[in-house]
Amino acid sequence: MSFISPEFAYAALLFFFVYWLLKSRPLLQKAYLTLSSYGFYATWSIKFTFILLAYSLWIWWAGEWIKQPSKITRDQKLKLTITISLSLGLLVITKYYEFIRGGLDNVLSVLNMHYSLPFLELLIPAGISFFTFQAITYLVWQANHEPEVFKPKTRCMDVLLYLAFWPTLFAGPIFRAKDFFTQLNGDQVGKAIDVEKAIYFILLGLFQKVVIANWLSVNFVDGIYAYPENQNIVNIISGMWAYTLQIFFDFSGYSLLVTGLGLLLGYQIPINFKQPYLAINLQDFWRRWHISLSTFIRDYIYFPLGGNKQGFTKTQINIFIAMVLSGLWHGANTTFLIWGLLHGVGVIISNINDRYAYINLSAMHARILTIVFICMTWVFFRSDSLDTALSVLHQVTKIEGTFTKNHLLLILLSGFFFYFSRRSQLIEEKLIHWAHLNWGWRLFATITGVVFLIIYSGPSGIPAFIYYKF
């Protein structure tokens, strides 16, 4: 069941009605939310639901095993290493086994060694990358020594809810354990908070995904990646730029939607995007794009490698490793590896330039250079294979093509996008304030009108979210 399906809308109406009725009985409400989360996951796969349940029970037990009332000891560090390694096992086996097997076969073939790992037909559980990373934040949090007031005792059911929490289960944002459990034991959980903001996020998220992202995909993106050899420079450039917008509207729309739903549950889910295409360099881009992932990579990979505390050269090596792993996190494909590698090299070059001041650009030129680089690297991210990516880039040399009405609409959309991006905070505040002042038939009529506009302008089917496959 998708968040943008009619079935989900009907189920959500019934779910929230019962959920809010149970506010006076928090344990029952928590159990209801937990069972609903597993039930929602079961609409995708009952087999995966049992896998998630078993995995969550393991994470709870592992957390109990490693935590101690005193400061971290060598024994506890060993326990943490073991539990994190085992917790990553499901992700590595299901998502990367075939990639590792193929790479090993190629290496052995070059060495003239005839050995191959066995072929395994494995299915990847939905949302595995996200609930695995959340599990890691839980284990590290349990290992850290904090006063009881900052780290309340966690029950088994709490961990089951945390890893199956349905707003963030399939595609994030990555909800860190400390933030989740702090809210779980807070006063506002169980009742809707910031309702006007929740409505704004849900409607804006739906419009971004269902209307804009889908229009870009159908009219510009899908064709050039399905048949790159038949394209020309006009189609390729517009398709590359359209995907740059599409992936933002798709994933930002998803993040806004689930953040709004989280507010209706009484949880403040972390903001995942802060106008990333206004970034003046790649470092700034990664502070704005998929923030929950980029901060996770920073805190759990970059910092443990040494961060920036071991000299400039070692810092760049740490950055490169972190970016490559960020690319591989998205999928077991050479294209994702290259995408991460390119971003790693790009960040390093930017750091070298900042350190030695080789080139000084104005803010406008820096933004243009950054967005062009990001647009080019998205080609590898979107392509199913390296051959497809290279074919798309090669077609840029085919100097021909026809400019159509859709290309004009794409230019207009781009102009509106950057105009509103610069003013997004002000627009959000004004619309939320208007909603607060117009509770009643005006707000209801506005919501109804926007929903009908989304339904009318959207596709006939239910488009999938891009990040569901990660």
Tens-digit pLDDT string for the chain (470 aa): 788 888 888 999 999 999 999 998 999 999 999 999 999 999 988 999 999 999 999 999 999 888 765 556 677 888 899 999 999 988 988 888 888 877 777 776 777 777 777 777 777 888 899 999 999 999 999 988 665 545 667 889 999 999 999 999 998 899 999 999 999 988 788 899 999 999 999 999 999 999 999 999 999 999 999 999 888 899 999 999 999 999 999 999 999 999 999 999 999 999 999 999 999 999 999 999 999 999 999 999 999 999 888 889 999 999 999 999 999 999 889 999 999 999 999 999 999 988 887 778 888 999 999 999 999 999 999 999 999 999 999 998 888 878 889 999 999 999 999 999 999 999 999 999 999 998 888 889 999 999 999 888 877 777 777 777 76
Are 378 and 257 contained in the same domain?
yes
Q: Are 467 and 249 in contact (CB under 8 A)?
A: no
Question: Residue 56: inside a domain, yes or no?
Answer: yes
Are 157 and 229 contained in the same domain?
no
**How many Cα atoms within 13 Å fall on the side-chain side of residue 391?**
15
DSSP secondary structure code for residue 357 in this structure = T
C-alpha distances (whole Å) from 286 to each of 114, 184, 349 are: 43, 29, 15
Its domain, for residue 112, covers 25-184
Are 167 and 209 contained in the same domain?
no
Q: Are 137 and 296 in contact (CB under 8 A)?
A: yes
Cα dihedral 71, 74, 79, 85 sign: positive
Question: Which amino acid belongs to residue 455?
Answer: I
Are 175 and 283 contained in the same domain?
no
Question: Residue 465: inside a domain, yes or no?
Answer: no
Burial of 300 (0-12, 13-18, 19+ CB in 10 A): middle
Are 214 and 339 contained in the same domain?
yes
Are 150 and 248 contained in the same domain?
no
Are 180 and 216 contained in the same domain?
no
C-alpha distances (whole Å) from 270 to each of 174, 208, 295, 356 are: 8, 19, 11, 36
Question: Residue 408: inside a domain, yes or no?
Answer: yes
Last residue of a domain, one of 184, 219, 248: 184
Are 295 and 212 contained in the same domain?
yes
Are 167 and 112 contained in the same domain?
yes
What's the distance, Cα to Cα, between the start and end of the chain in Å?
17
Question: Residue 85: inside a domain, yes or no?
Answer: yes
Last residue of a domain, one of 162, 184, 206: 184
Summarised one tens digit per residue, pLDDT across range 114-147 is 777 777 777 788 889 999 999 999 999 998 866 5
| Cα 372 to Cα 366: distance, rounded to the nearest angstrom | 10
Question: Residue 1: inside a domain, yes or no?
Answer: no
Concerning whether 330 is annotated as a catalytic residue, the answer is: yes
Residues 6+ apart with CB under 8 A from 103: none
Burial of 33 (0-12, 13-18, 19+ CB in 10 A): buried
Count: domains in the chain:
2
Predicted structure pTM score? 0.92
Per-residue exposure over 170-197, b if at least 16 CB sit within 10 Å of its own CB, e if not: bbbbbbbbbbbbebbeeeebbeebbbbb
Are 144 and 81 contained in the same domain?
yes
Residue among 290, 330, 343, 407 flagged as catalytic? 330
Summarised one tens digit per residue, pLDDT across range 67-121 is 765 556 677 888 899 999 999 988 988 888 888 877 777 776 777 777 777 777 7
Are 257 and 142 contained in the same domain?
no
Last residue of a domain, one of 157, 184, 211: 184
Q: Are 59 and 163 in contact (CB under 8 A)?
A: yes
Question: Residue 290: inside a domain, yes or no?
Answer: yes
| Cα 288 to Cα 285: distance, rounded to the nearest angstrom | 5
Question: Residue 19: inside a domain, yes or no?
Answer: no
Are 259 and 141 contained in the same domain?
no
Nearest CA to 66 out of 84, 53, 51 is that of 84
Question: Residue 9: inside a domain, yes or no?
Answer: no
